[in-house]
């Protein structure tokens, strides 16, 4: 039997791997990748080249998201598929 903390990410990765990348898929993956707190204080926008613009609610969260951007990018690409999101741009 698998532990829930390993089963859920595998299930989400399987779900995300089907179909084309979309704004809706990005928004769900974003919430999973950053958690509830950062998910509430930021919005994301999928760009045509696959990059993601991140819009934090204020400077405090901008600093935190900038500091954590490489880790978040890795989490997104783990969920969505390697190289799906080439870069994050914190605005």
Which CATH number, 2.60.40, 3.30.300, 3.40.50, 2.30.30, labels domain 4-90?
3.30.300
- The reported pLDDT for the residue numbered 5 is 58
Q: Give tens-digit pLDDT for 45-69.
A: 999 999 999 999 999 999 999 999 9
Q: Is the pLDDT of residue 4 over 70?
A: no
Classify residue 66 by its DSSP letter: H
Instruction: Judge whether 89 and 50 are in contact, CB under 8 Å.
Output: no
Would you kindly state where each structural domain of the chain is located, as residue ranges?
A: 4-90
Please check the confidence at residue 15 and state whether its pLDDT lies above 80. Answer: no
Whole-number pLDDT of residue 16? 76
């Amino acid at each position: 039997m698998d532990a829930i903390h390993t089963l859920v990410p595998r299930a989400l990765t399987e779900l995300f791997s089907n179909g084309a990348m979309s704004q809706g898929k990005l928004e769900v993956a974003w919430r999973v990748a950053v958690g509830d707190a950062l998910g509430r204080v930021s919005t994301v926008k999928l760009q045509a080249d696959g990059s993601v613009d991140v819009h934090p609610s204020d400077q405090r969260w901008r600093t935190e998201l900038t500091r954590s951007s490489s880790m978040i990018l890795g989490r997104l690409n783990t969920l969505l598929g390697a190289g799906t999101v080439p870069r994050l741009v914190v605005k």
